[in-house]
Amino acid sequence: MDADPMDTTRLDDDLRAMLAEVESDRRGEPSDYLEDVAGQHVDGLAAAVCTVDGHQAAAGETDHAFALQSVSKALTYAVVLQEVGLDAVLERVGVEPSGEAFNHLSLHDDGRPYNPLINAGAIMAHAVLPAGDHEERVALLVRRYSALAGAELEVSQDVLDAERTRADRNLGLAHLLADAGQLPVSAREAVAGYLAQCSVTVTAPQLAVMGATLAAGGTNPVTGERVLDEWVAQQTMSVMLTCGMYDATGQWVAEVGVPAKSGVSGALLGAVPGALGIATWSPRLDERGNSRRGIGIFEGLSARWDLHVLQHRGALRGLRVSR
Ligand code: GLN
């Protein structure tokens, strides 16, 4: 069944309207790493979308490049699934929401981190990437992230330097994983690579294309390149839905209903299967570390565009007998 044609001018109009609605909200604090990054303004705002058939729209500071930070966790999970397969990944990291803060050490009894979107699980997922050393792992990720975005992405040295001076907690988590005999590489190497993936920068339109690639089942709708298998996109969006907003995920699913991943840069990535990718950037965070104005934009767009993935869509229609 073909969907009715879409009025794509509405994408731009609605994005601009949503930005205008949240613009004046100055609540929340930006992450402290930004103090050490040149050219970062904490009241910046951008939003972009890309549909699975390649229509793009954007509003706000669409040229500004920000760090992926924890948004990279979802992307690395996709890459490692693609590279080594689901079973090999699940041996090292689970898929259960932890209900704890992102930097909490939430481990199953067998020593596996709860899921790949908290720091412990993300460090593990990074360490499982098949590569000889930390530089190769980062190079593999930058190549795959670039294919997902359809743009040449790179690691920001400024952001990486700022992250390295604040790495104690992540090193602590990695040493505990190593002590439990779980980490396939050294704690130092895993954290060095993980911090580099967090420091890859993107613009909002580039991030929206990454979301659209997931939403389209792994084929980049702008370049036409198949980057991930369909099952990988599905597994990645599954953990984004159940774990992507940390300990605010339950409320997020109830109110927004979009598989998503947040980062402390103020980045927010959403992917609605079969529909579109959405990206927002606004650095002021709530107490859970999620972008305040970003959440506002997603709430508004979900309501306007019927994006909740659990919305009733006439299941079993194909089983009905026409009379
Ligand atoms: N680099 C940060 C960290 O690991 C990312 C955290 C985040 O974006 N929530 O602590």
Can you tell me the distance from the alpha carbon of 49 to that of 47, in angstroms, rounded to the nearest whole number? 7
Measure 170 CA to ligand 1 centroid, in angstroms: 9
To test the pocket of ligand 1, the residue of 31, 119, 159, 194 to mutate (highest count of ligand atoms within 8 Å of its CB) is 119
- Of all residues in the chain, the percent with pLDDT exceeding 70 is 99
Residue nearest atom 6 in ligand 1 by C-alpha distance: 70
Q: Which ligand 1 atom lies nearest to the CA of residue 71?
A: 8
Reported as a single tens digit per residue, the pLDDT across 71-102 is 999 999 999 999 999 999 999 999 999 888 88
Q: What's the gap between Cα 298 and its chain centre?
A: 14
| 66 Cβ inside 6 Å of ligand 1 | no
Beta carbon of 198 within 6 Å of any ligand 1 atom: yes
Ligand 1 centroid vs 302 CA: distance in angstroms?
26
Q: Is the minimum distance from the CB of 170 to ligand 1 under 6 angstroms? A: yes
- Check pLDDT > 90 for residue 106: no
Position 41 confidence tier, pLDDT thresholds 50, 70, 90: confident
**What is the token pair recorded at 62?**
């669409």
Q: What is the pLDDT of residue 250?
A: 94
Contact 212, 271 (CB under 8 A): yes
Residue 319 Cα to ligand 1 middle (Å): 46
Q: Do residues 109 and 167 lie in contact, with contact meaning Cβ atoms separated by under 8 Å?
A: no
**d(C-alpha 162, C-alpha 63), whole Å:** 22
- pLDDT tens across 251-301, in order? 999 999 999 999 999 999 999 999 999 999 999 999 999 999 999 999 999
**C-alpha 289 – ligand 1 centre gap (Å):** 9
User: How many angstroms separate the CA atoms of 70 and 132, rounded?
Assistant: 24
Q: Which helix (H) or strand (E) holds 234?
A: helix 230-243
* Distance (Å) of CA 165 to CA 15, 168, 177: 37, 8, 21
* Confidence class for position 3, pLDDT limits 50, 70, 90: low
The pLDDT value given to residue 266: 98
Say what the pTM is. Answer: 0.95
- Helix H or strand E encompassing 276: strand 276-281
Query: Each residue of 190-243: pLDDT tens digit?
Result: 999 999 999 999 999 999 999 999 999 999 999 999 999 999 999 999 999 999
CA dihedral 258, 235, 315, 1 (to 10 degrees): 90
Are 9-66+201-319 and 71-198 in the same CATH fold? yes
What are the sequence ranges of the domains in the chain?
Answer: 9-66+201-319, 71-198
Pick the CATH number of 9-66+201-319 from 1.10.10.60, 3.90.1170.20, 3.30.70.100, 3.40.710.10: 3.40.710.10
User: Ligand 1 atom closest to Cα of 163?
Assistant: 1
Burial 193-228 (b: 16+ CB within 10 A, else e): bbbbbbbbbbbbbbbbbbbbbbbbbbbbbbbeeebb
Binding residues for substrate: 70, 119, 163, 170, 194, 246, 264
Q: How far is the CA of 263 from the centre of ligand 1 (A)?
A: 7
Q: Is the pLDDT of residue 36 over 70?
A: yes
Could you report the per-residue pLDDT of 161-193, keeping only the tens digit for each? 999 999 999 999 999 999 988 899 999 999 999
* CATH code of the domain occupying 71-198: 3.40.710.10
pLDDT of residue 39: 80
For 55, residues 6+ apart whose C-beta sits below 8 A from its C-beta are 6, 8, 11
pLDDT at position 232 is: 98
Range 61-66 average pLDDT: 97
Instruction: Return the ligand 1 atom nearest residue 103 CA.
Output: 10
Q: How far is the CA of 265 from the centre of ligand 1 (A)?
A: 8
